[in-house]
Each structure stands twice: as C-alpha cells, then as structure tokens.
Amino acid sequence: MGGIGLKLQIFHSGYCVADGAVVNPKEGRGKCRFYATWALLEHPKEGYVLFDTGYSFRFGEAIRHWPFRIYGLMTPYFLQKEELAIERLKTIGIDPQEVKTIILSHFHADHIAGLKDFPDSKIVSSRSGLEQALRVRSWSALGCGVLPDLLPADLEARTQVVPDEKLAPVAELENGHDLFGDGSIHLCALPGHARGQLGAYFHTASGPVLLAADAAWDLVTWQKGILPRSIVRLFFDDWKAYQGTFWALRAFHERRPDCRVLFTHSPELVEMDLEPLRNKL
C-alpha cells in the first residue's frame, strides 16, 4: 500500500451550534458544537497543503443581508481571532504564502470562509462543486449552503478542477484522483452532503488517513450506524446519495480498519488540534 508519508496536523477555526438530536436522533440531547476543523498537510516536494479553511469573520459579514441572514440563524457561529487559519499557521511559523494548495472538500461556508486569506494558493475542487458555487445566487445559493461573498473573485482562474468522474467511489478510494501524480494524495467522491463533496486519502507516519469532510458529522454516531435526522435532506444536496456514502464508508472501514477516518466536525478532531498545545504545557 505504501505511498509517500505526509505530516498531518488538525486545527479548528471557530464552531457553530447545532441540535444534538439532529446529529444523533437516537441519543442526541441539547446543543452540540460543530467545530470547523481543517487539516494542514506537509508534502516533501509540494509543500504545505490545506484541506478546507474553517470559519473567518467574513462569514459574519456575508450573513448580514437577506436571505443569507437565515444561514447565520441556522448555524450561529463563534470565533476568536487567534483561531483564524492564518493566525494558527503564523503561530507555528508558516506564512500564508507558503500554502501552495488548498483542497476544498465542498463549498459550505464553514469550510471555505478563510479562503480569501490565501490569495496566492492554488485551489482544488470538484468540477460540480465549483460550477454550482459560481452559478448560484441569493435564495438558490442559500439552499446550497453557499455564500457568494466568501468566494475570491479569481476563484475560477485559480482552481484546478477535478472532473467528478475522476473522483473514485468510496469502495475504490485508494485509486482515486492522484492529485500530485506521485500517489501521495488520492481524492475520492463523497456525494450527498453537498454538491461534488470530495475526500482525501493519504499516508502518514502513523498510518493511512481519510479526510472524509461531512460524509458524517460524528465518528461515534457513524460507527453505531445512526444517520442524522432526515430533516437534513432539506439542505443536503442528495439525501439518498448521502446514505449511500455513509454506508459505503462503513464498508470501507470494515475492510480497512487500519485507515483512520476523520470527519470535519467530529469532536475528537478538536482533541487532535489541542494535543500539541497540551504537549507544550
């Protein structure tokens, strides 16, 4: 299975609050936090690669006007300045200009709000995700969870689009789109949650990892096979496809228990973020 080993660090930039019973209809109670985590990968030749960016304060500006105010009401967000992706990177000695590539799992605001802080980075997204993000306006944008104000003006010119048919299905994700042509990062399709959602599969020193974005929200709930409340279909791209991805990922994990599956908003990712801090104390 081999592959070039990448260094992986997880950070979070803010969080929003959601209803626990929506995430886990069987056991969820009260409110839960959806931390906007993102990953920093270090590739020996390609340099620093981000997988998503988390929130930035531009989210607060983008939801000031109708109909986008509804977005803010549905997902009230909390963010400290020191949590911004650029600030997080600065604290570990990385300049935003050193981030060569940003992989976008999908265009929901909590994944891309920091994008404008990286004007020099190449962006990677699925073709269908980018096309939808560039096309939608006003109510149709809201319905897709896209805030057009968060998109850089030169987004299309800077984006390396991956045709959706090149994104491997979950069952074959080890053979997904080879991003750098060296077998280090394979991109796979995680349809359902958002248009053209993609995941990244790669090797680290401590084993293989799949960044599975929002294919599920909570690791434990996914391990138990509990789907979110079906009301989410109102803002998911395709509820049936979401379920297909959810179960296919479980089948993949049964076959490949060595591969850690990381979901953006799952609480243990924040623990991974805090771990280096604890080690410093």
H or E element: which one contains 245? helix 239-255
- Phi, psi (degrees; rounded to nearest 5) at 95: -80, 140
**Closest residue by Cα to residue 106 from 185, 167, 62, 64:** 167
**Structure tokens that stand for 191 in this block:** 């349809």
By CB under 5 A, which span of 40-48, 102-110, 148-156, 232-240 interacts with Zn ion?
102-110
| Nearer to Zn ion (CB atom), residue 28 or residue 228 | 228
Q: Is 177 in the site for Zn ion (CB under 5 A)?
A: no
By CB under 5 A, which span of 153-161, 207-215, 217-225, 233-241 interacts with Zn ion?
207-215
Q: Is 218 in the site for Zn ion (CB under 5 A)?
A: no
Torsion-angle region of residue 223: left (phi > 0), alpha (psi -120 to 50) or beta? alpha
No. of helices (H) and no. of strands (E), the chain: 11, 12
Give least dist CB 164 to Zn ion, A. 17
| Nearer to Zn ion (CB atom), residue 6 or residue 147 | 147
Q: Taken in order 91, 96, 100, 104, is the CA torsion positive or negative?
A: positive
By CB under 5 A, which span of 56-64, 172-180, 214-222, 270-278 interacts with Zn ion?
214-222
| Nearer to Zn ion (CB atom), residue 6 or residue 104 | 104
| Nearer to Zn ion (CB atom), residue 118 or residue 263 | 263
Among positions 117, 214, 237, 273, the unique one binding Zn ion when judged by CB under 5 A: 214
By CB under 5 A, which span of 50-58, 105-113, 231-239, 271-279 interacts with Zn ion?
105-113
Confirm if 145 and 109 have CB atoms less than 8 A apart.
yes
| Nearer to Zn ion (CB atom), residue 159 or residue 264 | 264
Torsion of the alpha carbons at 214, 41, 35 and 169, rounded to the nearest 10: 10
The β-bridge partners of 67 are none
Q: Is 108 in the site for Zn ion (CB under 5 A)?
A: yes
Applying CB under 5 A, the residues found at the interface with Zn ion are 108, 214
